[in-house]
Amino acid sequence: MRPRHTHDMQALLIWYDAHQRRLPWRVSLDAYRVWLSEVMLQQTTVPTVLGYYPRFLERWPNVEALARASQDEVLAQWAGLGYYSRARKLHACAKLVAFERQGRFPETVEALQKLPGIGPYTAKAVAAIAFKVNTVPMDGNIERVTARLFAITTPLPAAKPMLQELAQRLAVPKRPGDLAQALMDLGSGICTPTKPACPACPLKKDCQAFKKGIAENLPARVKRAAKPVRHGVAFIAERKKDGAVLLRKRPEAGLLGGMLELPGTPWQSEPWTDEAALAFAPSGTGWRQAGLLRHVFTHFTLMLEVRTGSATRTSQGAFWAKPENLSQLALPTLFKKALKFMALDV
């Protein structure tokens, strides 16, 4: 066992007490609320989550309520947040906790990590914040803070195990949850990826990277490959009498899994010819180009050509959705963008 308290975590906690933000998931340490916020915050910024978390909590105030919802309802509320497998696993986890564990979340890192959608980070965060387990979760912020504190120059992701081990040395038994949140606040507010505010940092006396003047260069990363481009054509098939459009449900697994979409072509590396694209159109007439949009996914960029036309009957697997109902459906951002072309087309 290495010696603890080589760093002044007390100074960090004092800074945290003076600077912490009033965020809705810091109002209560109820495990359900902590868990819900941590899942939403996976790879998602605080401002974005602020637009979803209060609505979720109002609609489903406890894990039993969320467990009783339908998956389509959960996906509809999640629409726009991205990484939709999170919503499916969130619901699966809620059902498991509500129906097989009498509504109680497990209280150890190991048991939490067995639940759907809870990985190493979320297990530690929930354990530390809701159950006062003395552990330090590793997220992007704490990874960066740790790399700088110890001046680790090994590039990510190879440095991850070392950073994980070093971060655990920062643990303090008194206030594990506050320490985790203090480190994350430090990472987002002071120890930022570019132009860190080192002079204002409560840990500057301990920071090896600051002393060496290399804080801004850490953590080092290996270069990522450029995103390929894919092309698709989507069809807005409009019903004359009420303006309803045809939608269909995507497969449960994979990209935008379980969400709704406009009918259209597959997405391929080459642009579509008219003739090839029309083979994927719903039964309808008068197709004309309404717009072209670019949408960036995690690992490719999509160029989506949007065409409008009129249709009188549904096609295979599709259904009519009235414009006034669109906001309550599980439509990912890509297709919300596409549907905006409809209004221009009168």
Partner DNA sequence: AACACGGGGCT
Partner DNA sequence: AGCCCAGTGTT
Q: List the one residue from 7, 11, 19, 116 that touches DNA (CB under 7 A).
A: 116
Tokens representing 16? 């945290």
Does position 221 interact with DNA (CB under 7 A)? The reply is yes
Q: Is 38 a catalytic residue?
A: yes
Contact flag: residue 298 with DNA (CB under 7 A):
yes
How do beta strands 229-238 and 301-310 pair? parallel
Distances (CA, A) of 276 to 264, 266, 305, 313: 11, 11, 13, 22
Query: Which one of the listed residues 38, 238, 261, 305 is annotated catalytic?
Result: 38
Q: Which segments of the chain are extended strands (E)?
A: 229-238, 245-249, 260-261, 285-296, 301-310, 318-321
Is there binding between residue 45 and DNA (CB under 7 A)? yes
Residue type, 292: L
Is 19 one of the binding residues for DNA (CB under 7 A)?
Answer: no
Site for DNA contains 327 (CB under 7 A): no
From candidates 23, 111, 172, 326, binder to DNA by CB under 7 A: 23
Q: Does 50 bind DNA (CB under 7 A)?
A: no
Q: Is 48 in the site for DNA (CB under 7 A)?
A: yes
Whether the CB-CB separation of 115 and 127 falls below 8 Å is answered with no
Minimum gap (Å) between residue 296 Cβ and DNA: 6
Question: What are the backbone angles phi and psi of residue 222, rounded to the nearest 5°?
Answer: -80, 145
CB of 49 to DNA, least distance (A): 8
Picking from 334, 261, 330, the residue whose alpha carbon sits closest to that of residue 294 is: 334
Nearest residue (CB) to DNA, 269 versus 273 = 269
Tell whether the torsion through CA atoms of 122, 124, 125 and 130 is positive or negative.
positive
Name the residues that contact DNA, by CB under 7 A: 23, 25-26, 37-38, 41-48, 80-85, 89, 113, 116-123, 125, 139-141, 143-144, 157-158, 160, 181, 184-185, 187-188, 193-194, 221, 223-227, 254-257, 295-299, 332-334
